[in-house]
């Protein structure tokens, strides 16, 4: 074995092999604003992989608010929230977010990933336990790894397995952590059962609403509202990089919990604060989410229409209940090949392969926006049908 620490880099051939086959799906250059159609490497393509669920990422009011904030506060706070990186706009959106989700207080991190890292690592200490769904997002897993507590995992959405874990760790203080809508599967956490078990075993519940905020619930407040049990969510996390059309991450909870996180989470203390351009965009997006419920309604209608259409074409879309619809295609190589064919046909999609999904269960992860028109949706269906047939995924 070579003594060079770079040996693994020189040996890494996965990306090159895909490039040689013409199937490399990563880091493609987008040359336009985010919308249902974008320019990727010189050609207009219909997007079916964006998290811009409500279509706000190029909304004139969001852009205007972002520009106005930059003019007022400049381009960077050049410091962390704790010391010199908090301005009145950060505090304004924290109050607005907390009030929107019905929590006492909220704190704004620089990304959603940072929110999970910071909150989970400081909330769970030595001799305590985090119990997460096996398909929880990578940022949750990273937060668990950074915590000094133990980490336990239960089978995806399997409530008997969750109870088994709670019994196993009975006697330890526990935090159950789930995604509201699971980012690859598009299904929803079983909050009523999770909450019942949390009460039975004295655990707290943390829900990552990255894909559910603005999307489900009567007013778009996420999974708690979807099940009409918002008070059962002890900690609500949301990223600003999806429905909120910006970047950043919120943690909302009781005032004491937020105060503790504010003074303990390393990923807020030791990183620079979110630039005002992003905070201004969040401010405007939060207003639009509340003022224009028709976006959410249109989005959910689109999700239903697409799920039905995929099923009638013979595709397996697992248990999606949201605007994330995974189209199961089989092996990783089929997913890469389909990605390439779709790209050439004018559809920009995302292949998701092992280890993000089990072996042989690779998917084309499709996701929808309130601003997709019927023409866009028909185009996506026509191309997926053509490519699915050509690759032997459907008859
Ligand atoms: C479920 C979930 N949580 C957290 C994150 C991290 O959020 P961000 O991209 O804003 O850092 C993501 C992003 O993809 C996500 O899907």
Cβ neighbours for 216, distance < 8 A, ≥ 6 positions apart: 180, 181, 188, 222, 223, 225, 226, 300, 322
- Antiparallel, parallel or unpaired: β 235-239 and 249-253: antiparallel
Residue 204: which of 253, 268, 248, 143 has the closest Cα?
A: 253
State the Cα–Cα distance between residues 321 and 346, nearest whole angstrom. Answer: 26
What digits encode the pLDDT tens for the residues 100-132? 999 999 999 999 999 999 999 999 999 999 999
The enclosing H or E element of 120 equals helix 112-123
Could you tell me the pTM of the whole model?
0.97
Average pLDDT for residues 275-291, to the nearest whole number?
98
Same domain, 124 and 270: yes
Report CA(3)–ligand 1 centroid distance (Å): 37
- Classify 362 as helix, strand or coil: strand
Domain count, the chain: 2
Q: What is the mean pLDDT of the chain?
A: 97
Residues 110, 141, 193: CA angle, nearest 5 degrees: 105
Ligand 1 centre distance from Cα of residue 114 (Å): 9
CB-CB contact of 37 with 376 (8 Å): yes
| Of the residues 291, 319, 335, the one at which a domain ends | 291
Here the CATH number for the domain that contains residue 321 is 3.90.1150.10
Q: Is 126 left (phi over 0), alpha (psi -120 to 50) or beta?
A: beta
Q: Is the pLDDT at 376 greater than 90, yes or no?
A: yes
Q: Which of 132, 241, 324 to mutate to test the pocket of ligand 1 (most atoms within 8 A of CB)?
A: 241
pLDDT number for residue 2 = 87
Domain match, 278 and 355 both: no
Active site residues: 183, 211, 242
Mean pLDDT of 178-184: 97
Once rounded to an integer, what is the mean pLDDT over residues 200-221? 98
**Model pLDDT, residue 235:** 98
End-to-end Cα distance, the chain? 49
In a domain, 71, yes or no: yes
Instruction: Indicate whether 348 belongs to any domain.
Output: yes
Pocket-testing residue among 115, 137, 282, 352, ligand 1, by greatest number of atoms within 8 A of Cβ: 137
Each residue's pLDDT tens digit, 344-359: 999 999 999 999 888 9
Q: Which residues have CB under 8 Å from 339's CB, separation 6+?
A: 23, 25, 349, 350, 351, 364
Q: Is the pLDDT of residue 173 over 90?
A: yes
Side-chain half-sphere exposure of 17, counting CA atoms within 13 A? 6
User: Relative to the CA of 136, which ligand 1 atom is closest?
Assistant: 1
Q: Which ligand 1 atom is at minimum distance from the Cα of 137?
A: 1
**Residues 233 and 181 placed together within one structural domain of the fold:** yes
- Mark whether 35 and 79 lie in a shared domain: no
Closest C-alpha residue for ligand 1 atom 7: 112
Is the same domain home to 309 and 331? yes
Specify whether 106 is located in the same domain as 124: yes
Å from CA of 113 to ligand 1 middle: 6
The set of protein residues with a Cβ atom below 6 angstroms from ligand 1 is 111-113, 116, 137, 139, 179, 183, 208, 210-211, 239, 241, 247, 249
Strand 174-179 with 204-208, pairing: parallel
pLDDT at 321 > cutoff 90: yes
Atom of ligand 1 nearest to the CA of 111: 11
Nearest CA to ligand 1 atom 10: 112
pLDDT tens digit sequence for 54-107: 999 999 999 999 999 999 999 999 999 999 999 999 999 999 999 999 999 999
Q: Of 236, 259, 291, which residue is a domain's last?
A: 291
Within-domain flag for 47: yes
**Dist. CA 239 → ligand 1 center (Å):** 6
Same domain, 145 and 113: yes
Shared domain check, 312 and 266 = no
Same domain, 300 and 285: no
DSSP string, 228-245: T-GGG-SEEEEESSSTTS
CA distance to 64, 161, 170, 319, 339, per residue, from 176 (Å): 39, 13, 13, 22, 35
355, with CB counted inside 10 A (0-12, 13-18, 19+), is: exposed
pLDDT band at 215 (very low <50, low <70, confident <90, very high): very high
Closest C-alpha to ligand 1, atom 16: 183
For atom 8 of ligand 1, the residue with the nearest CA is: 112
- Distance between CA atoms of residues 284 and 62, nearest Å: 5
The boundaries of the domain holding residue 174 are 60-291
CA of 112 to the centre of ligand 1 (A): 5
User: Angle 31-34-37 (CA atoms, 0-180°, nearest 5)?
Assistant: 80
Instruction: Please give the distance, rounded to the nearest whole angstrom, from the Cα atom of residue 221 to the centre of ligand 1.
Output: 17
Q: Do 251 and 311 have their domain in common?
A: no
- Residue in 51, 109, 113 to alter for ligand 1 test, most ligand atoms within 8 A of Cβ: 113
Same domain, 145 and 259: yes
Flag whether pLDDT at 1 surpasses 90. Answer: no
């Amino acid at each position: 074995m070579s003594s060079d620490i770079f040996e693994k880099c020189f040996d890494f051939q996965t990306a090159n092999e895909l490039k040689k086959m013409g199937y490399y799906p990563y880091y493609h250059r987008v040359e336009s604003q985010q919308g249902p159609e974008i320019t990727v490497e010189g050609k207009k393509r219909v997007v079916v992989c964006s998290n811009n669920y409500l279509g706000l990422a190029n909304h004139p009011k969001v852009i205007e608010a972002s520009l106005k904030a930059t003019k007022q506060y400049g381009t960077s706070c050049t410091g962390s929230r704790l010391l010199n990186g908090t301005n009145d706009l950060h505090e304004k959106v924290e109050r607005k977010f907390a009030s929107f989700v019905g929590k006492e207080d909220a704190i704004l991190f620089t990304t959603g990933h940072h929110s999970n890292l910071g909150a989970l690592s400081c909330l769970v200490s030595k001799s305590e336990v985090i119990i997460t769904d096996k398909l929880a997002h990578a940022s949750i897993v990273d937060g668990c790894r950074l915590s000094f507590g133990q980490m336990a995992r239960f089978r995806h959405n399997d409530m008997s397995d969750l109870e088994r874990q709670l019994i196993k760790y009975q006697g330890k203080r526990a935090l159950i952590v789930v995604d509201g809508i699971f980012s690859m599967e598009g299904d929803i956490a079983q909050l009523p059962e999770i909450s019942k078990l949390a009460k039975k075993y004295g655990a707290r519940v943390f829900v990552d609403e990255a894909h559910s905020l603005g999307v489900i619930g009567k007013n778009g407040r996420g999974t708690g509202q979807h099940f009409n049990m918002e008070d059962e969510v002890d900690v609500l996390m949301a990223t600003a990089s999806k429905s909120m059309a910006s970047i950043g991450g919120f943690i909302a909870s009781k005032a004491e919990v937020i105060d503790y996180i504010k003074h303990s989470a390393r990923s807020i203390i030791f990183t620079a604060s979110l630039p005002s351009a992003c905070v201004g965009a969040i401010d405007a997006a939060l207003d639009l989410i509340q003022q224009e419920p028709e976006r959410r309604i249109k989005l959910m209608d689109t999700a239903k229409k697409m799920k039905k259409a995929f099923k009638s074409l013979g595709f397996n879309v697992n248990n999606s209940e949201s605007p994330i619809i995974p189209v199961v295609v089989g092996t990783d190589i089929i997913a890469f090949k389909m990605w390439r064919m779709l790209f050439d046909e004018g559809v920009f999609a995302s292949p998701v392969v092992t280890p993000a999904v089990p072996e042989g269960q690779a998917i084309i992860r499709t996701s929808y926006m309130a601003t997709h028109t019927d023409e866009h949706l028909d185009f996506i269906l026509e191309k997926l049908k053509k490519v699915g047939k050509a690759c032997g995924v459907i008859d």
